[in-house]
Structure formats: C-alpha cells, structure tokens
C-alpha cells in the first residue's frame, strides 16, 4: 500500500530526513501552497526545556530573522505544537562546502568566490550585531547555482550578549577554527574572532587541509596561539600575505573586514550581492513569542504548562580545561598592564542546585540582590562602597555530571571590599560544598585534577 504523506501544520508535506542532532531533526519538505522545497527543523521542546536551552533557541530565532542576506540560509517561519518547535527554512540543494573540499583543494578563483561571499555574509551579520562563532566548512552550504550560504547560528551571539567591557566571554566553537583569544578567558571581540575563522576556512579551501592540526589538543592550540602556519608551495605571495593578516594571533593587529575589502586579491572579480528586503523587528519578536508561548493550539495541541526551569550550569569544554592550566596562560600575548580582576575558583561534587541555594542564602544575609541566567548567578550589593556598589558574578561550570567548578569574580566595586566578602562570607558559606580552592597552592589546580585532562 502507498504510504500516506505526513502533513505538518496543514502547510508542509514532510519528506526524507536530511540530518539529526541531540535535540532536533531536519527534514526535506514541500510547501503545499507554493510547491516550494523547504527544510524543516523539528526541535523537541521537552528536551530543550529540560537542559535549559530555551534562551539559545530564542536567540537562534532572533538571529536568523535579523540576518536576511543572499548568502545566509533564510528562516521562513517558526511555529510550534504542544511538544515541538518547527523552523521552516530555505532548502539548499548543493549540500555542505565541506563535501567539495573533501574531494580535494579548490582552484584559486573558486576559493576566492566562496570567500568573497562568506565575508559579505559575515560583514552583514556584524552590521546587525550578530557574531556567528562557529564558522567552518560544515556550516557553509552551496546552492544549485554554486552560491554559498552560511547556516547554523546555534552558537551565535547578539551584541547585547557583550558584558560591561564590550566583549564576549563564552568559550565556544570548533577547536581547529577558533581564534586564540577565545580561549583566553579575558573576553574577545566577536567580529575579530569570526575573521580568524574565515582565515582558517580560506586556507582550507586553497590547501585542502587545516593550517593548525595536532592529535594533541594542547599542542594544536599552542600552534594556533603562535600563528604557526606552514604554507603549501603552491600558495602565491599574495595569498600568503593575506593569510598572515587573517591568521594574526593578536586580535588588535588582525586585519578588519574594511581593510580586507580593499585588498587586491579579494577585490578581483568581486560581485556585490543583491540584497534581500529586510523584515521589521516585530516579525522577529512575534516568532520568538510564538515558539515559546505557554498556550499552543497548533495541530490541536493543548495548553502547555512550562515547569520552572532550574539553573543550567555552563558546560566546561576542552578550551576551558586548557585555559585553566597554569602553564598555558595566553593573556600576555594580547594584554599589557591590564588590571587583573579579583577572582576565586572552587571545585565541588555537589549539584548546581546546592551551590545556587548556598549563594542565595549568602545573598540574603549580606543584603545582595540575586539574578540567575544560564550558568551565571549575579549578586548585586545594595550598599554604596568606596567604588560604588559591589557586584559579583558566580559562574557554575559542569565538567562532568559529578564534578563542578564555581568561578567567582568581582564585576564592579572595590577589590578590598570584594576580598573581605570572600573571606568572611563566601568561603565560610561554601565550606561544606567546595572541596578545593585555587588559592591553596598545596591542592591541585583545575587542569591537574580534572578528569577531562587525560582525554584532552
């Protein structure tokens, strides 16, 4: 018997599955009204609620609505049922750029065309306050006309994600493509980090292999931090000079997109894209609200009651393990005479809920206001000190399900007042929870005691 087609939201006929991840599956589909092919990303709402990824999904929706560009995969609409969130996106027939590179390096003119389109898309994203943070050939698609499309904004950041120093602080990305300053834990400029990734992509397009590679992640990152690149003999002098500017390990002297656009190699044969009409902000907001509304009747769905979402600790990945190693501090490469922020680091085997509970008790005792977001607990003092109100950030990192790190930093106020708070309030409160303090030299450092150190 002929299998009956699955009709989604009374608008799309669902076809074959194109791929899947931990929380989502992507299907090819057909718009019943226009007969247009689309890609439908189906996200399991219960799973993202359970792991605390709501803000990430909301950000991805907002970002894709902001970046309407011919070289970015377009989001057509977002809707939801009781248990699922649906992204209807542009279907890109040609597949990943990575597949083309896997067959061998590209000719210079082909590589230049893709690179021009990539830079045009990235520049537009930056102009809209969006930083991709995971640019790599696997996240670049090619359509049937040979045009590049940037996809997967799951790790992207908006300008408002920047902290008071105007920098981003979340360590993320793919090791071989990530900029050296991202791992430095002092904050980084999202635009300059994206430019570095674009430089790695250009090298891969022209060479057919990565500029920085080592089976040992620590050794690979040392090469990245030094900008230790060996160019193939077929690279022209123009390419070498351009790549040395793109893969400059110092973000302060790395080439900007404005200067890159004037580079003779880049300008050769450049064709400006035909821009798409921009949507107004209300459409973006409407989609975000629709996906996470507490009431959904799509496809006969009933009212969805969202449970209270517990604070989700930040996952501590290999980048963070390296950055905490005493023998691998890259800050000297980028910063001179910068005042160090007071901070303390503790380790524990207690769950995040126990840590947060202790911090809330302490805040109540010390008259601090508490704000929780993702893996961060912010404590805001109510008393005026020597340098204004004391503000403290306590970030909880999950290394393994049974091993957490709590990093406490002064974000505002006087350092002496902060140290007094730590000595008389914080440390005594966490005494029964935290079993190691970084300040105690006789005890092992994070990198020495972490169970991930061996595998990294």
Residue 145 pLDDT > 90, yes or no? yes
Longest dimension (CA), the chain: 79
Q: Is 414 a catalytic residue?
A: no
CATH 3.30.310.80 domain range(s) in the chain: 339-449
Give the chain's mean pLDDT: 81
Q: Which residue has the higher pLDDT, 90 or 346?
A: 90
What integer pLDDT is reported at residue 301 of this predicted model?
A: 38
Q: Give per-residue pLDDT as tens, 371-396.
A: 877 678 888 887 777 777 888 888 88
Contacts (Cβ under 8 Å, ≥6 apart) of 52: 309, 310, 311, 312, 374
Q: Give per-residue pLDDT as tens, 246-273.
A: 999 999 999 999 999 999 999 999 988 8
Handedness of CA 11, 13, 18, 22 (dihedral sign): positive
415 pLDDT band, cuts 50/70/90, is: confident
Look up residue 183 and give its two tokens: 């791992």
Q: Rounded to an integer, what distance in angstroms lies between the CA atom of residue 77 and that of residue 106?
A: 35
Pairing mode, if any, of strands 434-437 and 388-400?
A: unpaired
* Window from 76-85, 232-241, 336-345 with minimum mean pLDDT: 336-345
Q: Please, are residues 370 and 382 in contact by the beta-carbon 8 Å criterion? A: no
Contacts (Cβ under 8 Å, ≥6 apart) of 99: none
CATH 3.30.200.20 domain range(s) in the chain: 6-91
3-state secondary structure of 208: coil
- Annotated binding-site residue numbers: 41
Q: Rounded to an integer, what distance in angstroms lies between the CA atom of residue 393 and that of residue 373?
A: 11
What integer pLDDT is reported at residue 428 of this predicted model?
A: 81
If you average pLDDT over residues 418-442, what whole number do you get? 67
3-state secondary structure of 321: helix
Q: Does domain 339-449 have CATH number 3.30.310.80?
A: yes
What integer pLDDT is reported at residue 371 of this predicted model?
A: 83
Element (H, E) at 285: helix 281-291
Helices 190-207, 108-127: inter-axial angle, 10-degree rounding: 170
Look up residue 9 and give its two tokens: 């939201």
Q: Please, are residues 73 and 147 in contact by the beta-carbon 8 Å criterion? A: no
Q: Rounded to an integer, what distance in angstroms lies between the CA atom of residue 186 and that of residue 207?
A: 32
Q: Rounded to an integer, what distance in angstroms lies between the CA atom of residue 447 and that of residue 358?
A: 25
Exposure letters 153-172 (e unless 16+ CB within 10 A, then b): bbbbbbeebbeeeeebbbbb
Q: Rounded to an integer, what distance in angstroms lies between the CA atom of residue 427 and that of residue 436?
A: 11
- Annotated binding-site residue numbers for ATP: 41
Pairing mode, if any, of strands 6-8 and 343-348?
A: unpaired
Beta pairing partners, 75: 89
Look up residue 138 and give its two tokens: 């696997």
Fold of 97-267: Transferase(Phosphotransferase); domain 1 (1.10.510)
Active-site residue, from 123, 134, 194, 248: 134
| CATH of the structural domain 6-91, one choice from 2.60.40.10, 3.40.50.1470, 3.40.50.1820, 3.30.200.20 | 3.30.200.20
330 pLDDT band, cuts 50/70/90, is: very low
Residue 43: which of 31, 26, 60, 28 has the closest Cα?
26
One-character DSSP codes across 79-95:
EE-SSEEEEEEE--TT-
Q: Rounded to an integer, what distance in angstroms lies between the CA atom of residue 334 and that of residue 185?
A: 12
Q: Which residue has the higher pLDDT, 309 or 134?
A: 134
Element (H, E) at 407: strand 403-412
- Which residue in the block uniquely carries the two structure tokens 């990235």? 122
Dihedral over alpha carbons 354, 359, 364, 368 (to 10 degrees): -150
CATH 1.10.510.10 domain range(s) in the chain: 97-267
321 pLDDT band, cuts 50/70/90, is: low
Question: Which phi and psi (to 5°) does residue 371 adopt?
Answer: -135, 130
């Amino acid at each position: 018997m002929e299998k009956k087609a699955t009709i989604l939201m009374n608008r799309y006929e669902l076809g074959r599955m194109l791929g899947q991840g931990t929380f989502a599956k992507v299907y090819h589909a057909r718009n019943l009204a226009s007969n247009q092919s689309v890609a439908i990303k189906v996200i399991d709402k219960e799973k993202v609620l359970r792991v605390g990824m709501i803000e990430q999904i909301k950000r991805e929706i907002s970002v894709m609505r902001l970046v309407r560009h011919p070289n970015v995969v377009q989001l057509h609409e977002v809707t939801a049922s009781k248990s699922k969130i649906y992204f209807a996106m542009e279907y890109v027939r040609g597949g990943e750029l990575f597949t083309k590179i896997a067959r061998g390096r590209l000719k210079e003119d082909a590589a230049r065309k893709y690179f021009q389109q990539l830079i045009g898309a990235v520049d537009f994203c930056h102009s809209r306050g969006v930083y991709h943070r995971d640019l790599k050939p696997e996240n670049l698609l090619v359509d049937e006309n040979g045009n590049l499309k940037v996809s997967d904004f799951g790790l992207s950041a908006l300008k408002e994600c920047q902290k008071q120093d105007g920098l981003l602080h979340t360590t993320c990305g793919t090791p071989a493509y990530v900029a050296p300053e991202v791992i430095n834990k002092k904050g980084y400029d999202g635009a300059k980090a994206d430019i570095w990734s674009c430089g790695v992509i250009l090298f891969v397009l022209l060479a057919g292999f990565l500029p920085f590679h080592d089976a040992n992640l620590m050794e690979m990152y040392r090469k990245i931090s030094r900008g230790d690149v060996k160019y193939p003999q077929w690279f022209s002098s123009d390419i070498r000079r351009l790549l040395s500017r793109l893969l400059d390990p110092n973000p302060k002297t790395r080439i900007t997109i404005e200067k890159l656009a004037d580079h003779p190699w880049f300008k050769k044969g450049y064709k400006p894209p035909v821009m798409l009409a921009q949507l107004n902000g209300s459409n973006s907001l409407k989609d975000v609200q629709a996906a996470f509304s507490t009431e959904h009747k799509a496809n006969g769905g009933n009212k969805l009651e969202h449970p209270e979402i517990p604070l989700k600790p930040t996952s501590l990945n290999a980048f963070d393990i390296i950055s905490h190693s005493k023998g691998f501090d890259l800050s000297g490469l980028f910063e001179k005479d910068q005042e160090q922020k007071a901070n303390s680091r503790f380790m524990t085997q207690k769950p995040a809920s126990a840590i947060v509970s202790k911090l809330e008790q302490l805040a109540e005792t010390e008259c601090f206001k508490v704000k929780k977001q993702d893996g961060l607990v912010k404590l805001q003092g109510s008393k005026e000190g020597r340098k204004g109100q004391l503000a403290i950030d306590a970030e909880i990192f999950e290394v393994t399900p049974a091993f957490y790190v709590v990093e406490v930093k002064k974000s505002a106020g006087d350092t002496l007042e902060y140290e007094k708070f730590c000595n008389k309030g914080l440390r005594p409160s966490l005494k029964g929870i935290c079993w190691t303090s970084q300040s105690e030299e006789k005890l092992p450092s994070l990198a020495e005691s972490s169970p991930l150190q061996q595998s990294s």
